[in-house]
Amino acid sequence: MVLMKTADKKIKVVSLFSGCGGGDLGLLGGFDFLGKHYRRLGFEIVWANDILPFAVETYKENIGDHIVEGDIRSIDSKDIPAHDLLVGGFPCQSFSMVGGRKGFNDPRGYLYREMLRVLKDKQPDAFIGENVKGLISINRGEAIRQIVSDFTNAGYIVDWRVLNASHFGVPQKRERVFIIGVRKDKKTSPHFPSPTFGFVPLREVVQKHSEVDNRYYFSQRALVGLDRANKAFNKGRAQDLSGPCNTISTHLAKVSLNGTDPVLLVGPRNYRRLTPLEAARIQSFPDSFTFSGSDARKYIQVGNAIPPVLMWHVAKAIRERIFNDRPIFKSEEERNNVADSLQEYIPRTKGLLVSA
Ligand SMILES: C[S@@+](CC[C@H](N)C(=O)[O-])C[C@H]1O[C@@H](n2cnc3c(N)ncnc32)[C@H](O)[C@@H]1O
């Protein structure tokens, strides 16, 4: 059967700004989170890159040795292997520092251009870019328009969506922009996943009291500070355990009761910060994923990551729609049992739905 023959053919991926590998884990699949198995999607990452040594160490330990540590600006495209799909969560600082039109001339504001350069030079079938939701409102939409226009001019059909991780089985209200492009000759278009899950409550990933070290609890002094704070500023962001967590960031190491980062209220006037393990679970990392370095470094890697489960859904949609000439299902039966968007374009046998 044709499906059997092509099922093992892997889609080659190059991953830029890979960090600790959150997005790459999602893209690969083959992991468990909250009792659900996220199967392998048929991608193979042939080359990855990040500048941050401890993130690269984590990546090597959990994903593979194919990651190269270094500044992407000094890596020649000819040293990057040919691939079918390019992925990159280009750094958001590139845009947060962009104040006005002048900011576009800041070389640090142009890291997405490195992705553009690789795209132009290597011409993969498709790409996935990821960034903070704020990207779409910078300079009244000028930044996203510029990016879409640049990627379009590189020969791609480009579209973007804001996806909320909590709609895909992640216990966090993280909203991110996904920009997807398909090379113009591919005769298909960018495709995004539809929300598939009800909310996963934060309660599901919080550790037991007995597992949490004292250093994660706030002192009485911090509580006095909280009492003095103006409530109008909505300080002390104690999370509602019955819903998804607010977005976590790299600040978690320095979180204070006076800030806006999520904290937990674990008893009357008893607050604590999230542990690195809880932060990782809130981002949908499986417990088996290990992070290198101090707590501060763990929070940075976790806070920067694309939630693996969210990326799995994005990658699955692309795998099925854009790379559907290389199906992931081993049999027709398995293929027909999938209750998702794939069903939209599978030709149905005429008369199947006609009842007697
Ligand atoms: C938003 S994070 C990406 C996280 C990653 N996608 C994940 O899912 O774990 C952006 C990454 O870009 C990396 N970075 C920043 N400047 C870079 C550069 N000039 N060259 C290579 N990597 C860079 C940072 O170290 C950081 O890990």
- Catalytic annotation, pick one of 46, 51, 68, 92: 92
Q: Which residues pair with 36 in a beta bridge?
A: 33
pLDDT at position 270: 84
* Higher pLDDT pick, 105 / 147: 147
Asked whether the predicted pLDDT for residue 351 surpasses 60, the reply is no
DSSP β-ladder status, 156-164 and 175-183: antiparallel
Which amino acid appears at position 299 of this protein? Answer: Y
- Among 133-137, 181-185, 249-253, 349-353, whose mean pLDDT is lowest? 349-353
Give the atom of ligand 1 at the shortest distance from the alpha carbon of 23: 8
Average pLDDT over residues 5-27: 88
- Measured in Å, residue 16 CA sits from the centre of ligand 1 at 7
pLDDT at position 103: 41
pLDDT at position 101: 40
Average pLDDT over residues 136-161: 92
- Measured in Å, residue 339 CA sits from the centre of ligand 1 at 35
Give the atom of ligand 1 at the shortest distance from the alpha carbon of 71: 20
Average pLDDT over residues 276-296: 97
Average pLDDT over residues 164-170: 95
Locate CATH 3.40.50.150 in the chain.
3-197+294-331
81 burial type by CB count under 10 A (0-12 exposed, 13-18 middle, 19+ buried): exposed
pLDDT at position 188: 86
Of the segments 12-21, 106-115, 264-273, 316-325, which one has the largest average pLDDT value?
A: 12-21
- Measured in Å, residue 19 CA sits from the centre of ligand 1 at 5
Whose C-alpha lies nearest to ligand 1, atom 11?
A: 17
Banded model confidence at residue 135, pLDDT cuts 50, 70, 90: confident
Whose C-alpha lies nearest to ligand 1, atom 7?
A: 305
pLDDT at position 353: 30
- Measured in Å, residue 96 CA sits from the centre of ligand 1 at 15
For residue range 298-328, list pLDDT tens digits in order: 999 999 999 999 999 999 999 988 887 544 4
Banded model confidence at residue 108, pLDDT cuts 50, 70, 90: low
Q: Which long-range contacts (CB under 8 A, 24 or more apart) does 5-10 make?
A: 6/325, 6/326, 6/327, 7/42, 7/326, 7/327, 7/328, 7/329, 7/330, 9/42, 9/326, 10/42, 10/43, 10/44
Strands (E), 268-331: 270-272
Asked whether the predicted pLDDT for residue 122 surpasses 80, the reply is yes
**Is 245 one of the catalytic residues?**
no
Asked whether the predicted pLDDT for residue 333 surpasses 80, the reply is no
Are 237 and 265 in contact by the 8 Å Cβ rule? The answer is: no
Architecture of domain 3-197+294-331: 3-Layer(aba) Sandwich (3.40)
Classify the C-alpha dihedral 196-198-202-208 as positive or negative: negative
Rounded to the nearest integer, the mean pLDDT of the chain is: 84
Are 326 and 95 in contact by the 8 Å Cβ rule? The answer is: no
pLDDT at position 352: 31
> Which residues lie closer than 8 Å to 274 by C-beta, 6 or more apart?
216, 248, 252, 255, 262, 263, 264, 282
Whose C-alpha lies nearest to ligand 1, atom 10?
A: 91
Average pLDDT over residues 131-144: 88
Whose C-alpha lies nearest to ligand 1, atom 27?
A: 19
pLDDT at position 219: 84
**Other Cβ atoms closer than 10 A to 96:** 14
Which amino acid appears at position 257 of this protein? Answer: L
pLDDT at position 237: 79
Q: Which residues contact ligand 1 via a Cβ below 6 A?
A: 17-23, 49-52, 55, 71-73, 89, 91, 111, 304-306
Whose C-alpha lies nearest to ligand 1, atom 19?
A: 71
d(CA 74, CA 353) in angstroms, rounded, equals 59
pLDDT at position 342: 35
Substitution candidate for ligand 1 out of 130, 304, 310, 312 with most atoms within 8 A of CB: 304
pLDDT at position 222: 78
pLDDT at position 327: 47
Asked whether the predicted pLDDT for residue 45 surpasses 90, the reply is yes
Average pLDDT over residues 179-204: 89
For residue range 201-257, list pLDDT tens digits in order: 999 999 998 899 999 998 887 777 776 665 544 555 789 899 999 999 888 877 777
- Measured in Å, residue 190 CA sits from the centre of ligand 1 at 24
- Among 72-81, 134-143, 177-186, whose mean pLDDT is lowest? 134-143
Helix/strand/coil for 270 = strand
Substitution candidate for ligand 1 out of 24, 28, 45, 50 with most atoms within 8 A of CB: 50
Strands (E), 222-329: 237-238, 262-267, 270-272
d(CA 309, CA 315) in angstroms, rounded, equals 10
Give the atom of ligand 1 at the shortest distance from the alpha carbon of 311: 8
Banded model confidence at residue 162, pLDDT cuts 50, 70, 90: very high
- Measured in Å, residue 52 CA sits from the centre of ligand 1 at 7
Rounded to the nearest angstrom, the gap between the alpha carbon of residue 98 and the centroid of all alpha carbons in its chain is 23
Give the atom of ligand 1 at the shortest distance from the alpha carbon of 92: 1
For residue range 53-99, list pLDDT tens digits in order: 999 999 999 999 999 999 999 999 999 999 999 999 988 665 544 44
